[in-house]
Amino acid sequence: MTASAATEATRSWEQYLRESAVPPSTIDDFIQRPNWATFDPELGYTLHDCLVPWGAGDSRTIETFRPDGARSRFLYASRKPRINSYGNSFTECTQVSDGETWQEYLAGHLGEPIGNFGVGGHGVYQAYRRMRRVEQTADGAPYVILYVWGEDPVRSIMRCRWAVFYPRVTPADHEMRLFSSNPWAHVEIDLETGSFTEIGNPLPTPESVYAMCDPQWMLDHLRDDLAMQLAVYAGDPGYGQPGRIGELDRPKIERLAELLDFPLDWGPGTDQRQQAAELLHRYGQRATTWILDKASAFTRGVGKTLLVALNYTARTDHFLDPVAPWDGTRRDQEILDHLSASGIPLFDMNDVHQREYEQAGGTYHEYLSQYVSGGHYNPRGNHLFAYAIKDTLVELLDPKPLPYQDQGPDTIDFSTCRPSA
């Protein structure tokens, strides 16, 4: 650890939060000149037409969006989707252009469009809230995919992600106007009752977002965000980020651990930062099972079918941490067990990657590098995902997509496969 990192790791939580105040010019750009993200009063932000330099092969990616907020679709675009997808950047398909998403690859194979309402940076809860909002309008679809990726469970329980990663924001990020981490609707455990509770966005207007420029507001609003406190204390070795504060609010953290049946050990010689990471992980997993129950109840209540897709949730040695070995213990076992018990349909991309890796050999990092560029699926990765999930979707859909219908050539309605005049 460098001297500067050691100094960072001993500062107080209060000091860290005060230093997280956002430059007014950053809020100006976010509100007045939206680039990749644009303000949303419920979800913090949704997406905006953009051309950003993060594509494969040093390209810039074209991301455009429809009036309903979904990412642009081109194949069978005149038809209304009967499948809508919700989730984070792996649903949005960040870092590829519009025609290279897994939804477009699937549309080409199935002969029908798929709505893409993914938003990079959103957690399971924010995706669920967007699903509720869209699926109660004319843009809703009878089949809904809720995509759960790696750290999405933890995002669901944070009040504002800006305070987690502001130390690593670069001048280039400001130049590209990539700010997208204002407060949003989220869930937390009530330390008195032990129940999860839904909390709305405390800054629900564009003007109110400027409160983030005030160090005292950041401190007052985020001081009791235990998920964020655990994340900042633990750091993230996968991203090369050390712990940035030297203390935790022990009484509240101990109460949280008690509610989550997590055995904390403050004794000498224990790795308390690792314990913080594991407690945070359990918090996110418990929140996710609660959110999935709500998503299932909602979709049943409005006569829709829900499919949960899991990816990068099973193991710790993903492409950002290629050295750590995997002992075969799934980090998402609690979610898997819950889905199995509830009967919610599931597609598990973790299993697909594990089977492919075992056949390929080499390191897991080498295996994933062919599908991942800069942290997200490249076009090849999106193609793999599309063809991995297709059988689950075909089995779920009624009636089957046209290529899977048992019809004679004289009974096929080819008009449904053509653009409108």
Q: Encode pLDDT of 81-114 as tens digits.
A: 999 999 999 999 999 999 999 999 999 999 999 9
Confirm whether 363 is domain-assigned.
yes
**pTM for this model (two decimals):** 0.95
Confirm whether 183 is domain-assigned.
yes
Per residue in 27-64, pLDDT (tens digit) is 999 999 999 999 999 999 999 999 988 887 789 999 99
Per residue in 282-291, pLDDT (tens digit) is 999 999 999 9
Structure tokens at 76: 């069978």
DSSP letters for 81-111: PSEEEE-SHHHHTTTS-GGGSHHHHHHHHHT
State the pLDDT confidence band at 3, using cuts at 50, 70 and 90. very low
Confirm whether 382 is domain-assigned.
yes
Bigger pLDDT: 420 vs 236: 236
Confirm whether 169 is domain-assigned.
yes
State the pLDDT confidence band at 415, using cuts at 50, 70 and 90. confident
State the pLDDT confidence band at 160, using cuts at 50, 70 and 90. very high
Q: How many domains does the chain have?
A: 1
Per residue in 291-324, pLDDT (tens digit) is 999 999 999 999 999 999 999 999 876 544 555 5
DSSP letters for 249-311: -HHHHHHHHHHTT-----STT--HHHHHHHHHHHHHHHHHHHHHHHHHHHHHHTT-EEEEEEE
Query: Does residue 1 surpass a pLDDT of 80?
Result: no
| Torsion angle of the four alpha carbons 8, 10, 16, 19, in this order, in degrees rounded to the nearest 10 | -50
Share of residues in the chain with pLDDT > 70 (%): 93
State the pLDDT confidence band at 65, using cuts at 50, 70 and 90. very high
- 114-126: burial string, b at 16+ Cβ within 10 Å, e else: bbbbbbbbbbbbb
Residue 95's domain comprises 33-205+282-417
Confirm whether 383 is domain-assigned.
yes
Confirm whether 223 is domain-assigned.
no
Per the CB < 8 A criterion, the answer to whether 222 and 163 are in contact is yes
Q: Which pLDDT does position 230 carry in this prediction?
A: 97
Confirm whether 216 is domain-assigned.
no
Overall average pLDDT of the 60-70 stretch = 96
Select from 210, 213, 197 the least CA-distant residue to 159.
197
Q: Which pLDDT does position 421 carry in this prediction?
A: 44
Q: Which pLDDT does position 383 carry in this prediction?
A: 98
Bigger pLDDT: 32 vs 366: 32
Task: Please state the length of the chain.
Answer: 421
Overall average pLDDT of the 331-343 stretch = 96
Mean pLDDT of the chain: 92
Overall average pLDDT of the 393-403 stretch = 96
DSSP state of 65: B
Overall average pLDDT of the 242-259 stretch = 96
The one-letter code for the residue type at 77 is A
CATH number at residue 344: 3.40.50.1110
Per the CB < 8 A criterion, the answer to whether 83 and 393 are in contact is yes
Query: Does residue 351 surpass a pLDDT of 50?
Result: yes
DSSP state of 389: H
Q: Which pLDDT does position 149 carry in this prediction?
A: 97
Per residue in 128-140, pLDDT (tens digit) is 999 999 999 999 9
Overall average pLDDT of the 348-363 stretch = 93
Give dist(CA 380, CA 373) in Å, integer. Answer: 10
Q: Which pLDDT does position 325 carry in this prediction?
A: 67
Structure tokens at 386: 């599309």
Listed range (33-37, 228-232, 314-318, 402-406) with the worst mean pLDDT:
314-318
Per residue in 163-199, pLDDT (tens digit) is 998 998 888 888 888 899 999 999 999 999 999 999 9
Confirm whether 129 is domain-assigned.
yes
